[in-house]
Amino acid sequence: MKLVHMFRYFISFYMLLVGLNSFAQETKMQDSTEYKTTYGLRLGIDISKPIMRMLNSSNEGIEFVADYRIKKNWYIAAEFGTQKETSVQDYTKSTSKGAFYKIGLNYNAYQNWLDMNNEIFVGFRYATSTFEQTLNSYNSNTKSDYFAGDTITSAINTKDLNAHWTELVVGLKAETFKNLFVGFSFSYKIMLSLKHPDNFKTLYVPGFNTVFETETGFGFNYTISYIIPFFNK
C-alpha cells in the first residue's frame, strides 16, 4: 500500500516538473519574440493655425511638420511655413509677415508596448525666419493724459528682415489609426539674432511669435501626421 502511495507521489511530482518546464519554455519563447516597428518619413500639418485664424482675424498662417526615424528613439525633425500677424500696441499698429524654417532632433523617452509607435519626446531646434514688417499707423507720444498725439497713417514698410533662434521642445504623438498620428508640443524659444527696422522694434517674428523684452518666446502646435513606411526593423 505504501508502495502505491509513493508511486502516485512520484508521478504527481514528475507531472509538476513537466508542467513547469513547459511553462518556462513558453515564457522564454514569448520573451524572445521580435516585434518590428516602422521606419519612414512622417508628414503632417499644424491644425492649430487655422483654428487661431477663426478665433483671431489678425493672425493667419500655415505650418507643415516632418520627421524621419534614424534610430530606435531618435528622429530628425523639421517644421516650415508662413505666418502673418498684426500687432496692436498703445501707440502703434504693425504687421509682420514671412516664412520660417526649423530643423533639429527629437528623442522619444516613451517605452512602447509590443508594436506600438507612440512618443513622449524632447527635442531641440535651430530656426530662422525671413520676413517684412509694416508700421501701419502710430500716435506721437505727448506724455500727457489731456492731449492726444496725432495719428500718422502713412504706412512704412521694411523688407529683408531676418531672425535666428533656438527652441527646446516637449510633446507627444499618439498613433490613433495605422500610420496616422495626432500630437501636440510646446516650445520655449531663445532669440540669437534679430534684425530690426530703422527707428522701430520688431514685435512679432513669423515662427517665433511675440518677441518679449527678454527676446524669448513660446510656441504651441497641434498636429495630424501620416507616416510613409519605408521598412520595418
Cα gap 195→193, rounded to integer Å: 7
**36, 233 contact by CB (below 8 A):** yes
Burial class (CB in 10 A: 0-12, 13-18, 19+), 169: buried
pLDDT at 56 > cutoff 90: no
Q: What angle do CA 84, 171, 128 make, to 5 degrees?
A: 40
C-alpha cell at position 179: 500610420
pLDDT at 216 > cutoff 60: yes
Q: What is residue 24's predicted lDDT score, i.e. its pLDDT?
A: 44
Cα–Cα distance list, 158 to 128, 155, 177, 199 (Å): 18, 10, 46, 11
pLDDT in tens, 102-151: 999 999 999 888 778 899 999 999 999 999 999 887 666 555 555 455 55
Parse the chain into domains and list their residue ranges. 47-232
Average pLDDT over residues 81-100: 89
Average pLDDT over residues 76-99: 90
* DSSP structure class, residue 58: T
C-alpha cell at position 26: 513558453
DSSP state letters, 177-229: ETTEEEEEEEEEEEEEEEPPPTTS---EETTTEE--TTSEEEEEEEEEEEEEE
Question: Global pTM?
Answer: 0.78
CB crowding 11-36: b at 16 or more within 10 Å, else e: eeeeeeeeeeeeeeeeeeeeeeeeee
DSSP state letters, 142-159: -S-SSSPPPEE---EEEE
Beta bridge partners of 143: none
Cα gap 178→37, rounded to integer Å: 12
Please enumerate in sequence order all residues whose Cβ is within 8 A of that of 116, keeping only pairs 6 or more positions apart, or say none: 175
Q: What is residue 92's predicted lDDT score, i.e. its pLDDT?
A: 78
**162, 195 contact by CB (below 8 A):** yes
CATH class, range 47-232? mainly beta
User: Which among 227, 228, 221 has a CA at the least distance from the CA of 125?
Assistant: 221
pLDDT band at 22 (very low <50, low <70, confident <90, very high): very low
